[in-house]
């Protein structure tokens, strides 16, 4: 089977992007990061892509008179790379309904909470404030609503005594990387069927999201 073409959208640091690029170099990954699109010309992740020889298209929001004009160019940039899958990894914008329609259920987002808990920002602080004993991250299908859409898979980590939001975020980040790589491998394998409001998984006949185990397998 040909390698799946993956385009990654970022707005910042790009650590998830870096993890994907590194993972994609394994012979059995089944995918390749063919392009990066960012809405910010100061995104640190741009350098990550360039160092790896992955082409980057910068579409700065402030260059456009309207959201619609910005999105038209952004969506063309994504499509220009011919993606099979589109991964939002720290991309700080909600895709428009037009973009979601155009990308035909091929866009996934990684979010640092156990959705449906804590869509939006400050997820780690909110988990601590709620007294949660377990925190985590989710990979979900993108729909035109912030951090909603069916969850493909999650990873959980314990909340430790005395955790700060920063410590929790840092501990979660490496597990996010593993979750995202496992999910992109799964998508690239063609074993997930995607319908507008539901994901179904071959043979397993499951209806809930996968969970990443300690061996980085989706179970």
Out of 101, 111, 124, 135, pick the active-site residue. 111
Min. distance of Cβ 65 from ligand GRF in angstroms? 28
Find the residue with minimal CB distance to ligand GRF: 90
111 is catalytic: yes
Q: Which is nearer to ligand GRF, 14 or 30 (CB)?
A: 14
**Strands, DSSP E only, in 31-84?**
31-38, 56-58
Residues in the site for ligand GRF, rule: CB under 6 A? Answer: 10, 12-17, 45, 89-90, 110-112, 137, 176
Min. distance of Cβ 194 from ligand GRF in angstroms? 20
Q: Which is nearer to ligand GRF, 106 or 111 (CB)?
A: 111
CB-based contacts of 157, cutoff 8 Å, min separation 6:
134, 135, 136, 168, 171, 172, 175
Under 8 Å between Cβ of 97 and 144? yes
Distance CA 32, CA 135 (A): 30
Quick one: DSSP state of residue 117?
Answer: S
Q: Which is nearer to ligand GRF, 45 or 83 (CB)?
A: 45
Catalytic residue positions, numbered: 111
């Amino acid at each position: 089977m040909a390698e799946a073409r993956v385009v990654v959208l970022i707005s910042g640091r790009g650590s998830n992007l870096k993890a994907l690029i590194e993972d994609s170099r394994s012979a059995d990954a089944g995918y390749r990061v063919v392009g990066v699109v960012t809405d910010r010309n100061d995104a640190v992740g741009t350098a990550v892509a360039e160092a790896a020889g992955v082409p980057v298209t910068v579409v700065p929001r402030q260059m456009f008179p309207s959201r619609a004009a910005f999105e038209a160019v952004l969506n063309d940039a994504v499509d220009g790379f011919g993606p099979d899958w589109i991964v939002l990894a720290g991309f700080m914008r909600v895709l428009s309904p037009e973009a979601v329609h155009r990308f035909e259920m091929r866009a996934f987002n990684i979010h640092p909470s156990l959705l449906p808990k804590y869509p939006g920002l400050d997820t780690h602080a909110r988990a601590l404030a709620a007294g949660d004993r377990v925190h985590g991250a989710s990979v979900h299908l993108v729909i035109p609503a912030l951090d909603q859409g069916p969850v493909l898979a999650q990873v959980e980590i314990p909340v430790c005594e005395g955790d700060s939001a920063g410590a929790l975020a840092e501990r979660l980040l490496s597990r996010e990387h593993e979750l995202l790589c496992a999910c992109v491998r799964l998508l690239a394998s063609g074993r997930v069927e995607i319908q507008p409001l539901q994901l179904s998984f071959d043979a397993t006949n499951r209806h809930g999201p996968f969970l990443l185990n300690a061996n980085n397998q989706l179970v």
